[in-house]
Amino acid sequence: MHLIWENLIPNLILFWTGSFKDLDHEDEAYVISPAAWKDIGERTAACKSTIPSAFGAPVPNIATQRGQMTSEMYSNWTLFIAPLVLFNRFQQPVYYKHFIKLVNLLKMCLEFEISEEMLDQIDGGFKSWVEEYENRLYYRYQPHRLSACPLTLHALLHIAWGIRIAGPVWTYWAFPMERHCNALLPSIRSRRHPYASISAFVTAMAQLHQIRLKYNVHLELCLSPEVEKFSRNAFVSDSYPSYKLHQPRRLEVISLHLQDKFYAALATRFEKTKAVIQAIVDLNKPITQYGRITCLGGGDTIYVQMVDKYARYQNRRSEYVKRTFFGQAKRVLVLDLPTTPQLGLSSPSTVIYLVVEALKIRVENNLIYYSETGPIELVDLDTVQCLVGRVWDRNRWGIVDRSNVTIAQLD
């Protein structure tokens, strides 16, 4: 945590802004122009409303408010925002490629499980990254630039070794402890006996937590009014236990266009013709709709569907493959179906579909962009995989994705 987010990344930013220590940065290809850096800061600050809070603390304007940056903010900026806003900003592409190589190595270090093969990649990757840093880009083996090589740069060579002997970095980094310490600060009520105050607070919170667990009263003992209100109005269907639906909730008749798509989706689901579905299901009556959704496993915007590989060939046998799609969730439709033998339903059932505005994505330099949206689609809630964010940069949106979707899954 301190090695990367509080040393390496801030030092690189000092290089890019021409202010690292007392070095002469004039005419250096790693320096980003003040106008470009100002734009990067504005694009970063604007991400507060387009990157979900589940990703971490929002990042302020990195050009004018860097003093407010925390380790978590540096992490979020480096892993999610910087690859998009730094693209084509350097005078020479080699500096951007060098940075992206670092981002990829950091993402590997943050994996929950790391294999021996990955460890070898991390080890060799950092050696190569440091060698390029010293040999070609920042130090260049010039004695007067020796200050470009702080001790933290050499420490990168020991990351793989540390993971080998202590496990993935998330098992021992400082984030949980520092957050716990921040939670303890308000409990100090006595300057004379601060530790007694902390001890009483920790004991009370532990007792409360054990009561929640033993009697399953998490909601009843919730101390946050906002969280309590948010949770009490949520809905979880037995048919979709991995998702929670939230207000706004309303009953409304859907448009004829959506009805047509809903009938087609149900026909595919139950392997019946559209005419059979229309004779059984009445969509002209109000349908329960929700405005927000939480994926209890982590998100609500990327969805994966099985698509026919040979859909363009009318007489060819269908062969279905998985394909990843990106879309903007608009609302959720909940349809309660009674016992219907014609559809193979021996008991009442619930189907939930997400109304999605598809995105016309394109891949550039292994980054995913879109500038246009596609048609409205209905997708089964079970196809939802995870939450993504977006960054507006130079007249297009860049997708911020934590799910490690490969480019092959998008083709």
pLDDT band for position 200 (50/70/90)? very high
d(CA 66, CA 62): 5
Q: Which pLDDT score, from 0 to 100, does residue 12 have? A: 97
φ, ψ for residue 45, nearest 5 deg: -65, -35
Q: What percent of the chain has pLDDT over 70?
A: 88
Find where tokens 């809905």 sit. Answer: 235
Phi, then psi, of 387 in degrees rounded to 5: -95, 140
Average pLDDT (276-298) is 84
Cα torsion 84, 292, 72, 365 to 10°: value is -20
Please name the residues in contact with 345: beta carbons below 8 A apart, sequence gap of 6 or more. Answer: 337, 338, 339
Q: Which residue has the tokens 């994926």?
A: 295
Please tell me the predicted confidence (pLDDT) of residue 406: 52
pLDDT in tens, 322-340: 667 788 888 999 999 999 9
The pLDDT of residue 300 is above 60: no
Regarding pTM above 0.85, the answer is no
Give me the mean pLDDT over the 216-239 stretch: 69
- pLDDT tens digits, residue range 91-134? 999 999 999 999 999 999 999 899 999 999 999 999 999 999 99
**Using an 8 Å Cβ cutoff, are 398 and 369 in contact?**
yes
Average pLDDT over residues 133-145: 94
90 exposure class (CB count in 10 Å sphere: 0-12, 13-18, 19+): buried
| The amino acid at 64 | T
DSSP string, 299-363: -SSEEEEEEETTTT-TTSPP-EEEEEEEEEEEEEEEEEE--BGGGTBSS-EEEEEEEEEEEEEEE
Position 353 scores a pLDDT of: 93
Q: Where are the domains of the chain?
A: 4-171, 185-229, 235-409
